[in-house]
Structure 1
Amino acid sequence: MRPVMRRALFLAAGLAVLVTLGWSVRDFEALTASGDVVLLELAPADPRSLIQGDYMRLAYAVERQEIHLDAPAGTIILGLDERRIGRFRRLGSTVAHAPGEKAFRVRRTASGDGVTVEPHSFLFQEGQADLYAKARYGIFRVDASGRHLLVGLADADARKIEPR
């Protein structure tokens, strides 16, 4: 392969990577701006990492339930209360759900007797550990297909925790 051809191929591959990353960022920004708010109960732990700074490991209440997915990934249907706190109702698809319900994508655990919700950590500014130790809910933005993005943490009153 000639040097000019190799250089052109390298530039084309680099451009493809940049376009893919840009598209992904745009997609997450759109989800953050227009997704429905859903809160999931959580159980935080380990609020410190020497390499990353302050963070909180997250475990969600829905992960403690016995939910059996047939595939490695699937969708559950959450029932939402008046504060938009989601609780598992049933397995489901992304299209058929009643008012007050929301589809939410999950993965099957390795043992197959439960589900896992990503992400399992939340990074925050150094020195804010005491503030975030009050967290009781993860705040997600969720689209119609159940794709979700963790955008914050909330206290016991379902109010978003805002750093000082």
Structure 2
Amino acid sequence: MRKGIALITGLVILGLVNWSIYEKEQHLEHGEVIFLELAPVDPRSLMQGDYMALRFEVGNRIRQALSSDDSEATQGYAIIRLNEQKVAHFVRLGDKNEPLAQDERRLYFRQRDGRVQFATNAYFFEEGQAERYEPARYGRFRLNDDGEPLLVGMHDVKLERLDPAEGN
């Protein structure tokens, strides 16, 4: 009996893990491409070995809006507007169900230790490749219908990819 329960539990866990992987693959394949401008960070913490510390300008605007509202929210949605190049600009704080204009999108964020984060706060790359990413000015994300972003690449000031091997 115990072996049967362990087998069923294992199959359920394996099924859930595979479903999660499938959802992420769909997100990466079908999510809308948006760009978030990098905010200046302490140069000493920008490149740390084989990763780059990230902070985004939209995150700074969200933090300002949260502080002006005296909000203690640890997560929520920001409404962003995309320009012609798909670069996101903060419009206002919002919620999951509010109607949006044609050029607006919902962007899910988390606030931890006073910092607003989207998907990740670091971009990892191969050891010895730091110079390639020094001109980074934008993070490219895939945004799903729920406003959840996935970081997929780094771009320079002209929105040129910094890693020629990276996917779309």
TM range (shorter): 0.7 to 0.9
Shifted more, 78-87 versus 57-66: the winner is: 57-66
Equivalence map 1:43-122=2 (5 Å): 43=39, 45-49=45-49, 54-65=50-61, 66-68=64-66, 71-95=73-97, 96-111=99-114, 115-122=116-123
How far off is 1:149 after superposition?
0.6
* Aligned-partner Cα distance in 2 for 1:10–1:76: 43
Cα distance, 1:118 vs structure 2: 2.8
Task: Name the amino acid aligned to 1:97.
Answer: L
What is the deviation of 1:70? 6.0
Q: Give the counterpart of 2:16 among 20, 26, 31.
A: 20
Determine if contact 2:38/2:138 at 8 Å carries over to the other structure.
Answer: yes
2:119 and 2:148 in contact (8 A); partners too: no
Any stretches of 5+ residues in structure 1 without a counterpart?
none
RMSD: 2.0
The CA deviation at 1:59 is 0.9
Q: Secondary structure at the match of 1:75?
A: strand
The runs of 5 or more residues in structure 2 that have no matched partner are: none
- The aligned counterpart of 1:6 is 2
Q: Tell me, in whole angstroms, the C-alpha distance in 1 between the residues paired with 2:3 and 2:119.
A: 39
The aligned residue for residue 124 of structure 2 is 123
**Matched residues, number:** 154
Secondary structure of the corresponding residue to residue 15 of structure 1? helix
SS at match of 1:67: helix
Q: Is the 8 A contact 1:74 1:107 kept in 2?
A: yes
- After superposition, the C-alpha distances for 1:86-108 in whole angstroms (9 at most, x for unaligned) are 01101123441111111100123
* Equivalent position amino acid for 2:78 in 1: I
Q: Which has the higher helix share?
A: 2
- How big is the shift at 1:109? 4.3
Distance 1:21 1:34 in 2: 20
| 1:142–1:148 contact (8 Å) kept in structure 2 | yes
TM-score normalised by structure 2 residue count: 0.82
Structure 2 counterpart of 1:38, from 28, 34, 38: 34
Q: State the TM-score, normalizing by the size of structure 1.
A: 0.84
* Larger-gyration structure (1/2): 1
* 2:48 counterpart letter in structure 1: R
Distance in 2, Cα, partners of 1:132 & 1:159 = 12
